[in-house]
Amino acid sequence: MHRVVNALPKEYRVPFAMHVSGFKYREIAEKLNLPLGTVKSRIFFTRQKLQEELKDFR
């Protein structure tokens, strides 16, 4: 899983890592100075990518 996340661009990796660490979407948006929708879409994209890459491990 770490390999997949680390391979992502920083703009996707950082919001996802913050979310996994317990930050709320709004907190991430404020800290990174991004619109809330952008944070949500980047986290969603990262989740999709993880599911894709890890589908064989279920």
Here the CATH number for the domain that contains residue 33 is 1.10.10.10
Q: What is the pLDDT of residue 26?
A: 98
Average pLDDT for 27-44:
98
Distance CA 32, CA 12 (A): 12
pLDDT value at 22 more than 80: yes
Q: Can you tell me the mean pLDDT for 20-47?
A: 97
Q: What is the domain count for the chain?
A: 1
Find the domain containing 53 and state its range: 2-57
Mean residue pLDDT of the chain comes to: 92
Q: Cα–Cα–Cα angle for 15, 44, 28, nearest 5°?
A: 25
Ordered DSSP codes for 25-38: HHHHHHHHT--HHH
Contacts of 14 (CB under 8 A, 6+ apart): 32
Give the chain's length: 58
